[in-house]
Chains A and B, each alone.
Chain A
Amino acid sequence: MGQLNFDDILKYILFQVDDNWQHVTFRQTERCTDCSDKPCLTSCPSGVFSWNSIAGDPILIAYKQCVECGICRLICNNIEFSYPHGGFGVTYQQG
C-alpha cells in the first residue's frame, strides 16, 4: 500500500456538511504569511489546511473535511475553532 493522501482518507469518513457556516477560520490571514513553521499544514489529521507554497498566497481552509479534533487551535493562536452547529460535521459509523 502506497503513501496515504487525503483524498483516500476522505473517502472513508462521512460528513454532514454545513454549507452556511465555516467553523474553522484564521483570525488574521496576514499573520500566516509571516509564519515560518505553518504547523497547521502537517498536524491536521484530515488535511483541512493547504497551501500552494507560493509566498504571499493564502492558506486554504477546507473546513468541510474537518474531523473536529480541535488541535489546530492548540498549535496556533491565529486559528479560531468552534465545533460545527448541531447535527453537522463528522459522523463516525464504526467507532
Chain B
Amino acid sequence: MSTGYQKIKPHKLVIPSTITPKTTKKKYDAIVVGAGPAGSTAAYFMAKEGMNVLLLERGPYPGAKNCGGASIIAEATHKLFPNFWDEMDCERLVTSQSYWWLDETSAITAGFRSMRLAAAPFNRFTVKRPIFYAWLAQKAVTEGATLCLNHHVSHILWEGRQAYGVALSPPQDDNELLADIIIAADGANSLLTERSGLTPAVSPNHLSLYVKETIALSSDSIEERFNLKPGHGALIGLIGYPTAGFNGTASIHTFKDSISINIGMTITNYVQAGLPPFSLLARLKRHPVIDTLIRGGITTEYGSATIPEGGYTAIPKLIHPGVLVVGDAASLVNGTHGFNLAMWSGYFAAQTAINAKISGDFSIKSLHLYRQLLDKSFILQNMKHNAKAASFERDVPYFFSLYSHIANEAAFEITKVYTMPIKTKRKLVWKKIIGLQPITRILRDMWKGIKVLWGN
C-alpha cells in the first residue's frame, strides 16, 4: 500500500462525566431522553438557565448509536455555540462541494470550490459523530446537567394525561425518574414516543436506511486525491448508480485521516429491490470513478442508521402535555440538513421549557410556544418549501437513476469525437436520448422536478 497510512489511531474520545442517580424518586425540572445533537443542546440551554436537568443516554457514550458521514453547518451552530470551532475537534473545513451523477461506468460532475468558504465564520465542517456528540453533552454537563449513560428509557409515565416522568429498562427498571417536562430526543424511529402512545410508527416511505463504510487513508492522500489544501475537506453527493435504479442518495465525506462512503434510500425501496443494504456499498466501491479515490485505503468501520426523510408532511405531533419532541424523533430533517435542525429544535424546546417553568404551566397550551418558534424559524419554513420532495421521489421513482443514465449517455456522445458531420452527430445524440425516454415524459418529469425545487 503506497498511501502512507501508518496506523489506525483511535479517536480521542472525551467521555463526559456521569453520575447514576441514587434516589429512586428524585424530581427534576426536565428529563431529556437521548444525548444526541438535539437532546444535548436542549439540556445545555435549560441547565444554563438554572434548570435541574437530567440527560439520559442509552449508549455507553454519546454518539455510540448513530453513524454516517457528517458535516455541521457553521453559521447555524455558531449562533448557538459561538466559535465552536475553537472548542470542538472538527475534522476538516469544507471548501469543496460537488454532485456527481453516475451511471454504470461514468460520471457527470458539477462542483464548487472556493477559499471564500474557508474564511471565518466558515460554512461547513466535517465532524466525527462521537467527538461532536461528546463535546455537546459535556457542554450540558458543564452547565450543571446530570448525564447518565447506559440508561435506556422505555416509556413516559402519565398521571391522567400529563407526563410526570420516565420509566427505565433493566437493569435500572426499578427507578422512576420524575420531571415537569420530558424532551424526547431519542432519534429517528423514536420508540419512546411511539410506545408512549404519542405518535404512530413511522412509515417505511418516510424513513431512509443508510449504510456507511469508513475507510482510513493518510491525510496527504486525501488532500491529493480530492485536490484540497491541508486541513480542508470535500463533500461529494452521488446520485444515480449508487442506489441501483431507485431514488436515493449517496455521499463521500472527507475526514482528517479517513473518508466515509454513505448510501441510503427509503425502506420501501430496499424491500422492493430485495438487495441487502451493504451490497450497495461493495457495488459502488467497484465503480471506476470511486475506486481511484479509495484505492489502498483500509476499512475501519461499517455501520447503518436511519434518517427520517418524509419531510414537512411527515412531521408528527410535537407537543403533548409535559412532552416536547425534538430532532430526528420529530422528523426534523431537510434534505442533507439534520444537525442544525436538531440543535435548533433542542434550543427552541429549551426556551419553551424555561418559559413553562417560570409560568408553572406545562400544558399543551403553554408548550405551544415550541411550535411557534419552529414555525417562525428556518426549520419549518425551509421544510415547508421542500414539502413535496418526498412525494416527488415516490411519484417519479426512476428519476435519479434514469436521468443520470440519460445524461451520461448524452455526455459520452458529446465528448466522443467522431468523423461524422456535426448534424449527423446531433441527430444521433437526440435519438439516443429519446430512445431511452419519450421527450414528453422527460419534459413532464423535469417540470415536476423544477416545481419541487421552486417550492410550489
Chain A residues engaging chain B, CB cutoff 8 angstroms: 1-4, 6, 9, 12-13, 16, 21, 37, 39, 42-47, 67-71, 73-75, 82-87, 89-95
A70-B306, A71-B209 as given contacts; A87 in contact with B59, CB under 8 Å: yes
Contact mask for chain B residues 56-99; partner A; CB cutoff 8 A; 1 contact, 0 none: 00111101111110100000000000000000000000000000
Q: Which residues of chain B in 287-339 are interfacial with respect to chain A, using CB atoms and an 8 Å cutoff?
A: 299-306
B261 within 8 Å of A (CB atoms): no
Give bound CA distance, A39 to B130, whole Å: 32
B151 within 8 Å of A (CB atoms): yes
When distances are taken between beta carbons in the complex, the residues of chain A under 8 Å from B60 are 16, 87, 91
Contact A94 B276 (CB under 8 A): no
Give bound CA distance, A43 to B270, whole Å: 6
Can you list 6 A-B pairs with a CB-CB distance of less than 8 A?
A: A6-B278, A39-B274, A74-B267, A85-B171, A94-B128, A94-B130
Contact B301 A12 (CB under 8 A): yes
Within the complex, which residue of B65, B260, B301 is in contact with A68, where a contact is CB–CB below 8 Å?
Answer: B65
Contact B191 A4 (CB under 8 A): no
Contact A75 B204 (CB under 8 A): yes
When distances are taken between beta carbons in the complex, the residues of chain A under 8 Å from B214 are 94
B388 within 8 Å of A (CB atoms): no
A71-B207, A85-B171 as given contacts; A92 in contact with B66, CB under 8 Å: yes
Closest-CB distance, A13 to chain B (whole angstroms): 6
Contact A86 B150 (CB under 8 A): yes
Contact A13 B285 (CB under 8 A): no
Within the complex, which residue of B152, B267, B276, B306 is in contact with A75, where a contact is CB–CB below 8 Å?
Answer: B267
Give bound CA distance, A76 to B306, whole Å: 17
Contact A86 B279 (CB under 8 A): no
Closest-CB distance, B299 to chain A (whole angstroms): 6
B172 within 8 Å of A (CB atoms): yes
When distances are taken between beta carbons in the complex, the residues of chain A under 8 Å from B203 are 74
Give bound CA distance, A67 to B275, whole Å: 18
Q: Give the 8 A-B residue pairs with the shortest CB-CB distance, closest first.
A: A95-B129, A87-B150, A45-B304, A86-B152, A86-B150, A70-B189, A95-B128, A45-B277
Contact A4 B278 (CB under 8 A): yes
Task: For the complex, count residues of B whose C-beta is within 8 A of A.
Answer: 63
Contact B271 A4 (CB under 8 A): no
Contact A92 B130 (CB under 8 A): yes
Give bound CA distance, A71 to B267, whole Å: 7
Within the complex, which residue of A39, A45, A89, A94 is in contact with B271, where a contact is CB–CB below 8 Å?
Answer: A39
When distances are taken between beta carbons in the complex, the residues of chain B under 8 Å from A69 are 189, 209, 304-306
Contact B209 A86 (CB under 8 A): no
Contact B301 A13 (CB under 8 A): yes
When distances are taken between beta carbons in the complex, the residues of chain B under 8 Å from A37 are 271
Give bound CA distance, A62 to B172, whole Å: 25
Give bound CA distance, A95 to B60, whole Å: 14
Q: Which residues of chain B in 130-189 are interfacial with respect to chain A, using CB atoms and an 8 Å cutoff?
A: 130-132, 149-152, 154, 168-172, 189
Contact A74 B202 (CB under 8 A): yes
Contact B168 A90 (CB under 8 A): no
B282's closest neighbor in chain A, by CB? A4
Contact B301 A83 (CB under 8 A): no
B286 within 8 Å of A (CB atoms): yes
Contact A67 B282 (CB under 8 A): no
When distances are taken between beta carbons in the complex, the residues of chain A under 8 Å from B277 are 43-45
A43's closest neighbor in chain B, by CB? B270
A74-B207, A93-B10 as given contacts; A12 in contact with B66, CB under 8 Å: no
Contact B275 A94 (CB under 8 A): no
When distances are taken between beta carbons in the complex, the residues of chain B under 8 Å from A2 are 282
Closest-CB distance, A93 to chain B (whole angstroms): 6
Give bound CA distance, A87 to B300, whole Å: 22
Give bound CA distance, A1 to B215, whole Å: 14
Within the complex, which residue of B131, B191, B286, B304 is in contact with A46, where a contact is CB–CB below 8 Å?
Answer: B304
When distances are taken between beta carbons in the complex, the residues of chain A under 8 Å from B172 are 86
Interface-central residue, B127, B191, B277, by most chain A CB under 10 Å: B277
When distances are taken between beta carbons in the complex, the residues of chain A under 8 Å from B204 are 71, 74-75
When distances are taken between beta carbons in the complex, the residues of chain A under 8 Å from B14 are none
B441 within 8 Å of A (CB atoms): no
Within the complex, which residue of A1, A21, A39, A83 is in contact with B191, where a contact is CB–CB below 8 Å?
Answer: A83
